[in-house]
Structure 1
Amino acid sequence: MKYRKGSSAAAGESNDDGTPKGGRDAPPSIQLEIVEHHGGGGGGLGNGGGGRGSASFFQPWREATPGSGSGHGRGTRGREPPEKRLTLFALRLAVLEKAASGLGKLDFVWATVVLLGGFASALSITDFWCVTVILVGSGARVFSRSHELEWQHHSTLTSTAGGALRSSSRFFRHLVHALADPAAAAVTDGASGQDVRERAAQFQRQIVAFMKQRTWHAPDVSLLPYTGWVFVSKKIGRLLSWLQVLSAFACVALSVMRLWRHDFGDQSNMRPALLLFYTLALIEALLFLLEKAYWTWKISGEKLLEQVSGECELGAYGHVSLTRFFYDAYSRCITGSIFDGIKMDLVTFAEELILSEFLDEQLIGVRILQQFASAEGFVRDTLRKRLVEMLNWKRPEEEEVRRCAAEVVSKLAGKRQNALRVSGIPGAVESIMSLLYTGWSAPAAPHDTSPASRSYDHPQFNLLGLLILKRLARDHDNCGKIGNTRGLLAKIIEFTHASPGLLRNPLAPDSQVRAVKRALQIVKMLVSTTGGTGKMLRQEVAENVFTVSNLRGVLQHGQQHQALQKLAMDILTGLAMDDRAKRVIVCTGGVVKLLLSIFFNADDKELGGEAGEALAILALESEASCAVILKRDDVLDHLMSALGGDGEARRLNAARILRNLCAYAGEKHQERLSAVTKAMPVVLKTTMTGSDKILEVSVGLTTQICKFIDGERFAAELHGTGIDERGYVERLASILREHRYPVIRVPRMRRFVVQQVIWLMSSSSADGGDAGGADYVSLLREAGMERLLESIADTTSELECYHVFSGSVGINKHRENLSAAVDAALELLGGDGGRAE
């Protein structure tokens, strides 16, 4: 069976799967026609998981080999990471700063050792004071310059988005504009209205919690008693910054004035010593001012931070995040090698913040990854182990960070190439499972606004957890991990429960309906998994005592939610591939009755097709299932009516159900099933004019109906339909000519034709060689059937040995080998004696 919902091709929130295509395989003894397979949405998110026709379970499909994806998004698209502009800017500033500092130190040493040490008594009063002022100003700037306070000052001035900003110092932490503008702090791309207000209130509570720490907030500390705000550390930082600029201007003015006048006296060596001193001082001050001017031009003039934020698509938190990133890069260039800063990137920087002890830093780091996860070209850069570990956080004050981390992981998992990476992180699936909480939080008291007292937003985390699992489940290996995680499968099935009140209430919360839908999508993908993993998952899902009951509830009360009903029927169809699961479905009261009702009465053709497919699989090789289906008195009449009705999917499934009932219902129902002979005219007409899947099942149904009639009755049915025996035989021969090799779309076509050929020859023999006036053996020989059967014998495949398929794995093997059936047909034709084996 090819799961049209695709065991490992389930769609994300918007179906972004690739389209696996087959190729051609033509070995010497067999040629398979590989048709194009359009990967459907296992989740069917856009349409509720609806399929594309009910024929898919009876044909295999080749699973596409996962591609390597788009590669490293930030390197393969011909686009440099935007933050490189910031690190290059930091490097250039560091070059100017280190050059200025180096010249300042050299000038200081020259002045103290040579001028003041050797010529102190000989210096004029003007040069003495000029040298002294320059040394004090330059020395204070070089040796006492407070980078930390200056960076903190700039961070405060340039932060435009609300949020938490901590300077690169380990000691200084500053929360920028959060209290003044909490709404801006809460805005993210796509948030508006009520979301913005809720985020603002939530962020406000976070800031209040941060401010209630047991340590001082360093920038607001008053350094001297009784001075109030005058000697607050951040004020002193601004003052020192301006003093540095004024000192540099003073050095330039004094140096230019003395170099212009150059009246240094006549003492030997004094003149060149003073010329060198003033020149070095002038260059050092000019370099410092150049650094300041370059800084101001890039930051305020070109608005470099805003440009990079836009290119990185960081949204409202971009300015805060990039300001912090830039200062850290600059700090590395200053304190170490000038090349240390250019080794930084935003993702690694965000990871470092996530590892911080402070929630405000963690929030900045997660915000960066959150935006990167949704930005095209940056997704693959954002996968980090710490991010997954954050999903386990439970404290109320950590809710915002945890939610952002969950959103990042969900976006990462949306890319197929990242799905295995996420699940490959140790403990990742368990962390995701922690999002699935089904308890209830007690409401907070009206007067209590502390983070610990407010109600935790469990429904939002439930939806995110289910979304992550759904996206992970698109990969076969991840389905196995989900099934093997203790308690996770039961938790997912718990979310498939939908009360009648929820399903029938048009005003029911959308989040609850979405949770049910996502849970159903996950279960559908699990039971649609191929191979041994799929077999194990189908058994485990069926063994949960709530599974089928929950699905029954959706079918019974979900008329307003057809997408949920389709998913429920898809799950039942997948479960029906397992014999034990099939027994559970049949023994759960009302399930088969609901499927029959939907199949016969549904106005939506797709919904009816889903129900028909589930019934066809249930009736396959199951006498118990056939007996339950036949409990409905008018079931045969409805099925025969559907054979001639509208809609190919409806006719197709009706034919399959009838064929399986005739083949597997058992002896006690044979008399009642003999009524299906009334459908013979419709089936014969379809055989003569149909093609593809409807032709395949029509030939198979004809063979089963023929069990209730003899050759004479069959001839009468042919004539009544306007078909003569020769034309019918020629039609069977033409089908075999068209299918000289096994065809994936109709793997049972040749088997059904061979079985019908055997029945024709057997009926002819039983009637003494004259079945209603026709000798089918002679007609078949004239049509070249012997040669065609020999060709089939030489091209039989394992593909033709199964009723249905799970991916490329055959399930429910035919009781009779095709080769044996071909040999029997050749023997009846009398032409197998000379055939080479």
Structure 2
Amino acid sequence: MTVKSFAEGQSSIHLDIPQLPKENESTISPATIFEPQTNPSSRNYVSPTLPAVSAPEKKLTLFAVHLAVLEKIATGLGTLGFIWATVVLLGGFASTLDKTDFWFITIILSIEGARIFSRSHELEWQHQSTWSIADAGISSFRALRSSSRALVESVKDMLSPVSSATRKQSQHSRNISKTTDATNITEQKLRRKPTWIWTSSEVPIIPYAGRVFLSRNVSKILYWLQLLSAIACIVLSLMKLIKHNFGDIAKRDTDERNRKAALCIFYALALAEALVLLTEKLYWEWKVVICKLLEGVNEECNLGASGMNSTRRFFYDSYSRCINGSIFDGLGMDMVTFAMDLLSSNSPQEQLIGARILRQFSTKERFSDGTLQKMGTTLPVIERLVEILNWKHPHEEEIRLSAAEIVSKLAGKKQNSLRVAGIPAAMESISSLLQTNRSLSSTADEIGERKIVFDQEDYGHWTFINLGLLILKKLAHDHDNCGKIGNTRGLLSKMIDFTHADERILKDSTVTTSQVLIVKRSLKVIKMLASTTGTTGKNLRREISEIVFTISNIRDILRHGEKQPELQKLGIEILTSLAQDNEATECIGGTGGVLKELLNIFFQGVQEEQRDVRIVAGEALAMLVFESRSNCRRILKFNVVERLLEALEIPLLHVNAGRILRNLCTYSGPESFNQLKGVTAAAPTVLKAILSGEGKLQEVMVGLAVHAFKFMTAEESTALFKREGLREAKLACTLVEILRSHRNPHVKVPRMRRFAIELAIWMMREKSTNVQIFRDLGMEEELEGVMDTTSELESFNIFSGTIGLSKHSTTIHSLVETALMLLKNRFDQPMKAC
């Protein structure tokens, strides 16, 4: 690249796609390419500190601890009763026990032994099940009737396989018709897809047993067996403790008293254990069925109807930890860690559950900060998310969508964005999201121009494209990431393709928001890449301008986008950034209609929302005629001088109109002298702005005056001051005051002192009497102060961030020395007051 050497200034799964996050697109930065911008690509990555919120799942972990305490007490009592019976009663008194006691003890031991050694297995079956929380097997006495009905149906299934299949089909149809949640439909599709792996809940444990012994029903059976065993233990124990019929004491040996006490202790232990177990079940029913604890936590977590399965799985994991280890082990669990573990699983269902949880927690303001921080510090999770972006199977579409949303949130934090971009092949994975159906236009007026064909039914593809562009936009805030984006093969071309918008999209108000959003986000990313600083920015601008569709796509937006001013603004800002390169400047000017459309927007925009577009159009025009004689000639062919003079009177346009006129006067060449002679008509407006203006306007008008006055003879300039009722002394006084008030260069007006010195030099050369005026006003002292405070800031006409471009051929030191030489010439002329 040549750096400018400036002298002066089809079949698819349809998902219920959530609303795409919208960034604040309306914020307008007042900084321009004509002034340095401190850290232009920096952003506020630190979210405001929010008060700590208690995680909703803490209620579940605490509930699991309470249940575990009761369970361990019941298990301890049962174990003690088991040991007591086997060692003391059956071991010591087996031959002397009454027949009823013997069988009662045997039954109780069998029941309790089965319960103690099967409890962990019940949890395992519960964890693997996918039935609803309201099913009988988990919580509800009220569901006994439905469980019985299910048992009858299961028996019928075994006897009549044909009717079973018919009933299953009708039940399946009813289930689909009842649900309105598109996520549930996705789950059904996942269940229908061919697979080589059994779903644990669908495994027939016993052959030919139909629905009865499916693994999802085993936990129900175990639940009711435990409940019935507890009731049986209570009944048997109470019968013996109330009646005290331990046999004929008179016929027993002398140890009968100990035998009676031992029996009482055993029955009391069995009763206590059963009562504790029933208390646990009642507590479960109270919290789960009556208080709806799981539903409440699920609602607080914003997981939706499909999230109940996730909430149940989390609870069972926590409960299992409390049962199998310390009762406090479950307290260390949280929903985010749980979801991250599921995401790393090899099971599609577990991956989907984990992705859903992380998506909800990362997109909700209440939980997003903590969730993103935890994920951001877990590199394997980020790698997994980036890997999922490459998944292309239709049945994995929701997991991929969730991963894309999560990555888009992670990329919004600076440290996380660096970690995402640092993963090998991360950019290629993100690029895989930017896939759509393409066709080539073959019409006569569009030969060779590629178009993106948006399928009206292919909304899912649009969503992935939008998310991919959003991720790239957030990553592009970092300078190093911009280089990686540019180095990713084919990625720039894809984004340029998405900047194409035909007349229908731009003018039709019925066009979907997603179509416009794709164009807008692609333009935003290209703009950020084109405005990158340093060597990376030079390479990116060269690569962007070398893609043959870049400028023509932007031209179409300028031509037909009057109803989309935001798109026009982004396209114009891209042109302004690309114009930092000489070759790109010529390419833009040589593309038919670009300069014309920019002039039309600059002069003719009338709607309130077009104010910002007119401003950036003026900046683009000023940049395109900057040191480009060919572009100056092209613009002058439109006879724009008079309209530019009129624009000097319009507050919205006067700054950029002044810049354009100054650059036209500077770079047009002698052949355009006659066309530019009319610039002298702006002298009154320029003088007024210099004398009464401030800031950018004053800087631009001082710079314009230097060149506009060159088209005037000494007699014409004298007549001008006389006609306007001004004296040269007034203007000289203002210039000295400018130097005095700008003892140090300011970033907002970096050329103010340079232009003031240039105009003072012109005045002293034009009239010798002005030398004495400047001397008496203290000009020499101010110039010496400028010598002591010069900065590199004043050496450049345009800037790329904090990097200066277009260095002036004449240094400010040389200008000061020229002015001081003129001041040393002595004339005996009286001083004229301001």
TM-score (norm 2): 0.82
Q: Kindly indicate whether the alpha-carbon contact (under 8 Å) linking 2:496 and 2:522 is maintained by their aligned counterparts in 1.
A: yes
Deviating more after overlay: 56-65 vs 586-595: 56-65
TM-score (norm 1): 0.82
CA drift of 1:521 comes to 1.3
Q: 1:229 to 1:510 in 2, by over 3 A?
A: closer
Counterpart for residue 661 of structure 2: 658
CA drift of 1:347 comes to 1.7
Q: 1:134 to 1:485 in 2, by over 3 A?
A: same
CA drift of 1:417 comes to 5.8
Q: 1:825 to 1:153 in 2, by over 3 A?
A: closer
| Equivalent in 393, 397, 400 of residue 398 of structure 2 | 400
Pairing 1:61–2:48 present: no
Structure 1 unaligned segments of length 5 or more: list them: 1-11, 17-44, 161-176, 188-195, 442-453, 770-774, 833-837
Pairing 1:620–2:626 present: yes
Counterpart residue identity of residue 700, structure 2: V
CA drift of 1:343 comes to 2.5
CA distance in 1: counterparts of 2:810 and 2:461, whole angstroms = 55
Counterpart for residue 468 of structure 2: 465
Pairing 1:524–2:527 present: yes
CA distance in 1: counterparts of 2:758 and 2:408, whole angstroms = 52
CA distance in 1: counterparts of 2:385 and 2:317, whole angstroms = 21
Q: SS at the partner of 2:131?
A: helix
Q: 1:138 to 1:373 in 2, by over 3 A?
A: same
CA distance in 2: counterparts of 1:660 and 1:184, whole angstroms = 70
| Equivalent in 752, 756, 775 of residue 753 of structure 1 | 756
CA distance in 1: counterparts of 2:564 and 2:459, whole angstroms = 29
Counterpart for residue 99 of structure 1: 73
Counterpart residue identity of residue 636, structure 2: L
Q: 1:831 to 1:405 in 2, by over 3 A?
A: farther
- Residue deviations 1:248-275 (CA, integer Å, cap 9, x gap): 1222333344445556555264244334
Counterpart for residue 8 of structure 2: none
Q: SS at the partner of 1:811?
A: strand
Counterpart for residue 639 of structure 1: 644
CA drift of 1:584 comes to 1.9
Deviating more after overlay: 558-567 vs 144-153: 144-153
Once superposed, which parts of structure 1, at least 4 consecutive aligned residues long, lie more than 6 Å away? Answer: 183-186
Counterpart residue identity of residue 332, structure 1: R
CA distance in 1: counterparts of 2:214 and 2:616, whole angstroms = 72
CA drift of 1:704 comes to 0.9
Pairing 1:419–2:417 present: yes
| Equivalent in 722, 732, 736 of residue 733 of structure 1 | 736
Q: Kindly indicate whether the alpha-carbon contact (under 8 Å) linking 2:129 and 2:216 is maintained by their aligned counterparts in 1.
A: no
CA drift of 1:563 comes to 2.0
Q: SS at the partner of 1:158?
A: coil
Q: SS at the partner of 2:737?
A: helix
Q: How does 1:96-175 map to 2 (within 5 A)?
A: 96-145=70-119, 146-148=121-123, 151=126, 156-158=131-133
Q: How many residues align?
A: 734
Q: Kindly indicate whether the alpha-carbon contact (under 8 Å) linking 2:356 and 2:402 is maintained by their aligned counterparts in 1.
A: yes
CA drift of 1:823 comes to 2.0
Q: Kindly indicate whether the alpha-carbon contact (under 8 Å) linking 1:353 and 1:365 is maintained by their aligned counterparts in 2.
A: yes
Counterpart for residue 13 of structure 2: none
Counterpart for residue 771 of structure 2: 777
Pairing 1:303–2:292 present: yes
Q: 1:225 to 1:778 in 2, by over 3 A?
A: closer
Q: 1:473 to 1:181 in 2, by over 3 A?
A: farther
Q: Kindly indicate whether the alpha-carbon contact (under 8 Å) linking 2:122 and 2:222 is maintained by their aligned counterparts in 1.
A: no
CA distance in 2: counterparts of 1:436 and 1:230, whole angstroms = 48
| Equivalent in 185, 189, 195 of residue 205 of structure 1 | 189
Pairing 1:812–2:806 present: yes
Q: Kindly indicate whether the alpha-carbon contact (under 8 Å) linking 1:153 and 1:238 is maintained by their aligned counterparts in 2.
A: no
| Equivalent in 602, 613, 624 of residue 607 of structure 1 | 613
Q: Kindly indicate whether the alpha-carbon contact (under 8 Å) linking 1:379 and 1:412 is maintained by their aligned counterparts in 2.
A: no
Deviating more after overlay: 262-271 vs 94-103: 262-271
- Residue deviations 1:774-814 (CA, integer Å, cap 9, x gap): x1111112222122112222211111111122221111111
CA drift of 1:13 comes to 5.1
Counterpart residue identity of residue 220, structure 2: R
Q: SS at the partner of 2:653?
A: helix
CA drift of 1:506 comes to 4.0
Q: Kindly indicate whether the alpha-carbon contact (under 8 Å) linking 1:623 and 1:666 is maintained by their aligned counterparts in 2.
A: yes
- Residue deviations 1:106-162 (CA, integer Å, cap 9, x gap): 3212211221111101122343233122211111111234414762698524169xx
CA distance in 1: counterparts of 2:458 and 2:348, whole angstroms = 19
Q: Kindly indicate whether the alpha-carbon contact (under 8 Å) linking 2:131 and 2:216 is maintained by their aligned counterparts in 1.
A: no
Q: 1:492 to 1:67 in 2, by over 3 A?
A: closer
Q: How does 1:87-486 map to 2 (within 5 A)?
A: 87-145=61-119, 146-148=121-123, 151=126, 156-158=131-133, 181-182=175-176, 187=181, 196=182, 202-209=186-193, 212-214=194-196, 217-220=199-202, 223-224=205-206, 228-260=210-242, 265=249, 266-267=255-256, 269-380=258-369, 381-382=371-372, 383=375, 384-385=381-382, 386-415=384-413, 418-439=416-437, 457-486=460-489
CA drift of 1:504 comes to 4.0
Counterpart for residue 488 of structure 1: 491
CA drift of 1:538 comes to 1.5
Q: Kindly indicate whether the alpha-carbon contact (under 8 Å) linking 2:322 and 2:329 is maintained by their aligned counterparts in 1.
A: yes
Q: 1:658 to 1:543 in 2, by over 3 A?
A: same
CA drift of 1:492 comes to 0.7
CA distance in 1: counterparts of 2:215 and 2:686, whole angstroms = 92
- Residue deviations 1:277-318 (CA, integer Å, cap 9, x gap): 233323322322222222222212222212222322223333
| Equivalent in 52, 68, 80 of residue 78 of structure 1 | 52
- Residue deviations 1:703-724 (CA, integer Å, cap 9, x gap): 0112222433222212222211
CA distance in 2: counterparts of 1:471 and 1:185, whole angstroms = 37
Counterpart residue identity of residue 760, structure 1: M
Deviating more after overlay: 316-325 vs 489-498: 316-325
Deviating more after overlay: 471-480 vs 789-798: 471-480
Q: Kindly indicate whether the alpha-carbon contact (under 8 Å) linking 1:178 and 1:207 is maintained by their aligned counterparts in 2.
A: no
Q: 1:455 to 1:214 in 2, by over 3 A?
A: farther
CA drift of 1:480 comes to 2.3
Deviating more after overlay: 214-223 vs 358-367: 214-223
Q: SS at the partner of 1:816?
A: coil
Q: Kindly indicate whether the alpha-carbon contact (under 8 Å) linking 1:185 and 1:317 is maintained by their aligned counterparts in 2.
A: no
Q: SS at the partner of 1:586?
A: helix
Q: SS at the partner of 1:810?
A: strand
Q: 1:153 to 1:681 in 2, by over 3 A?
A: closer
CA distance in 1: counterparts of 2:812 and 2:93, whole angstroms = 113
CA distance in 2: counterparts of 1:183 and 1:613, whole angstroms = 59
Pairing 1:559–2:562 present: yes
Q: 1:496 to 1:101 in 2, by over 3 A?
A: same
Structure 2 unaligned segments of length 5 or more: list them: 1-19, 136-170, 250-254, 376-380, 440-456, 827-834
CA distance in 1: counterparts of 2:298 and 2:90, whole angstroms = 51
Counterpart residue identity of residue 678, structure 1: A
